[in-house]
Amino acid sequence: MMATIDKYIKALPEVLSALVCDDERLYAKVYQEETQYARLTQALVNQSGGIFQEQLTLFLGNDQAMVSMSVEGDLPSPDQIRGLVQALREDLPHVPRDPWLNLNEVPEQMETGNIHGSMQFDELVNTLCESAGKQDLVGLVLSGPQVFAVCSSLGHCLIHRGGGSSIDVSIFDADYNAVKRVRRDPDLVDILPLVNGMSQDLKALQRPAVNIKAGTYRAWLSAEALGELLGTISWNGFSVDSIRSGSSPLNKLYNGEKQLSPRIHLYENRQMGDVPSFTSEGFLLPAEVPLIQEGRAKNHLSSPRAAKEFDTNINSDSGYPSALYLQGGDLPDNDVLQKIGTGLYIGRLWYTNISDPGSCRLTAMTRYDCFWVEEGVLVGPLSPVRMDSSIYQLLGEDLEAIGAHVHQIPETHSYGQRGWGSSSLPGVMTALKITL
């Protein structure tokens, strides 16, 4: 299948070139995935199967406007593409002028990434189920290759290959306590220790719950918990259009009123996150964009449209980071409980929202693998509480330490098609404000 799609993509620029007239520009996006999946319940496979899907999206434009059309199923032949282009050509004169239309007129060719197949899929599923034994292991296992490409009548041929395996699993007990783990491309030898670790954490959740009062506590935010907070900020935090319009929750950081700890070095790292390094408009993207350096705002993210509107360089496909990377520190994971002393271990946060955009304050609920720690010893699970803290405090004046180990957190959504990319984050030691 992969050899066939490669041949199709590499022949596409010539096909597109033969179909344009006058000042027209014709671009095409191609997506293909071959995915195996298994849904697990009670450490058994309750649903499994395979998904093979292809999609071609055509964009026909001139120097004023653009129209598009997507076709799913079998990729269309050159003759079928000709018919689709004619339909787009008939619509184009009726589309309003688009002042921010921005197409790369320089034909680029590039191939990135590597095909990640699903050769160990059955072994991965069996190892997970066998390692869990009679425990209620639930979740989703995905595996298989993905290909994304952008071609044009100008000669663009940009290809990204990726995919691989991911697991998103939890273990529940009879009282509905749960421990969750997400991993990308796990080694089979690591599955048993992973499940055993989940089992031990679940036993800790079965201890009597600890109730705490509202106040500020020393807290360890795991990589997953920190990722939840940064993901919420990212919706419009780093895009140039949000920053210039004043709607970014990081406005005070970007205008210099606020800063984070000098130890904070945050990047958009597309290469590390294994995401395409080009846009649908045919522009190449840098492998790494420094967003925050030594606690100060360094760069914003500019999509092709936003770059034209605000006269900046293009460094993003959408303005939304898809591969955040936070530089690690010097606190080993094994020393976290001792470093907490007495306080909170926050393994995961839920229902996160921005409670005050002006001060970049975030609110979220604790649940499941969140614990009370006393004198370096995990006492018991934390009764669900709400946090409400500013990122300027969490990663600024209250930041005590950054974890030495940077954890890769894969994007596991599979609605419509499998997600790309991952975040690479350490945990952080800070202070957390609890409101109820």
Domains, the chain, ranges and CATH?
A: 2-203 (3.30.2290.10), 207-434 (no CATH)
CB count in 10 Å sphere of residue 228: 20
- 44-58, 107-121, 240-254, 374-388: least confidently modelled range: 107-121
AA letter at 268: E
> For residues 409 and 224, is the Cβ–Cβ distance under 8 A?
yes
- 51-55, 351-355, 410-414: least confidently modelled range: 410-414
Is residue 304 pLDDT above 70, yes or no?
yes
pLDDT at position 234: 94
Residues 88-106 have pLDDT tens digits of 999 999 999 999 999 999 9
- Please give the average per-residue pLDDT across 347-375, as a whole number: 94
Is residue 49 pLDDT above 60, yes or no?
yes
Residues 150-201 have pLDDT tens digits of 999 999 999 999 988 999 999 999 998 999 999 988 999 999 999 999 999 9
Residue with tokens 């010539």: 14
**d(Cα 204, Cα 172) in Å, to the nearest integer?**
13
**What average pLDDT does the structure give for the chain?**
94
Terminal alpha carbon distance of the chain = 54
AA letter at 241: D
pTM of the model: 0.94
pLDDT at position 117: 56
Is residue 1 pLDDT above 60, yes or no?
no
Percent of the chain with pLDDT over 70: 98
pLDDT at position 119: 61
pLDDT at position 7: 95
- Please give the average per-residue pLDDT across 7-12, as a whole number: 96
Of 277, 299, 281, 301, nearest in space to 290 by CA: 299
Percent of the chain with pLDDT over 90: 89
Q: What are the helix and strand counts (H, E) for the chain? A: 11, 22
Residues 200-214 have pLDDT tens digits of 999 999 999 999 999
